[in-house]
Amino acid sequence: MTRIVFLTIMFLITTTAATAQVANQASDEKCDGPVYEAKDVSQKARITYHAPPPQYTEKARLHNVSGQVELTVVLCRSGEVTDIQVVKGLPYGLSESAINAAKKIKFEPAQKDGERVSQRMELQFSFSLGPPRALAKEPVEGRMVERTVVWNACRYRAEITREIWAKIKTRVNGPFNKEQANSDLDDILTLGYFDKDQSRLRFEEGDKKGIFVVFVLKELPQQDLCDK
């Protein structure tokens, strides 16, 4: 199956019922006739226009949601993207945003034996909460902490998230103490999930002359931390 990865703007918990509801809503448009896998066609479907990156919803940003939405679609011989199914979804409108982006894709249909045919394809849309804010100006010591953020590559499982936040003693609405923040990061690293060399602290300008304290965490290889 052909895999196309869409990297989007700068990724607590998705329920099965919610994902299923989105999947059902996305399946209304059907492609008539047989649908082939990429390996079964003589010429694969070719994407000619990628839609703009899917919208990162404000609710998802407020809830610090990141991760991937995985879809299966049919690039129908009619030229339409149909049979959209959510394989792995995200809450707060991100699944719907990915679906809307998928529907806008333009392509040349696959061919088999000289005829236009329909081909199934898997699409991935990555939503990652990167650091869009400017770095905080020094000195940061003593400035009000407006927000603490864990910046990670996926939605961690609930128990992992609880373990991480239990280690963070830096408090919102209190004065920032760099020694405490470094101690928080060291305590997170004792969990054994993250690369000590690549995990770090980042300080960003806040909205009220304070700062955002961002714990940038890089998972060690082979760690199974993500919520599936």
Q: What is the pLDDT of residue 7?
A: 33
CATH number of 3-127: 3.30.2420.10
- Helix (H) and strand (E) counts in the chain: 5, 11
Q: What is the pLDDT of residue 12?
A: 31
Candidates 71, 80, 76; CA nearest to 125 is: 71
Q: What is the pLDDT of residue 158?
A: 80
Q: Do domains 3-127 and 145-216 have the same CATH topology?
A: no
3-state secondary structure of 211: strand
Q: If you write DSSP's letter for every residue of 77-96 in order, what string do you get?
A: TTS-EEEEEEEE--TTTHHH
Q: Are 64 and 150 in contact (CB under 8 A)?
A: yes
Model confidence, pTM: 0.51
Identify the CATH class of 145-216: alpha beta
What is the rounded CA–CA span in Å between residue 13 and residue 56?
A: 17
Q: What is the pLDDT of residue 27?
A: 53
Low-confidence ranges of the chain (pLDDT < 70): 1-27, 62, 128-132, 153-155, 227-228
Per-domain boundaries in the chain: 3-127, 145-216
pLDDT in tens, 95-111: 999 999 999 999 999 99
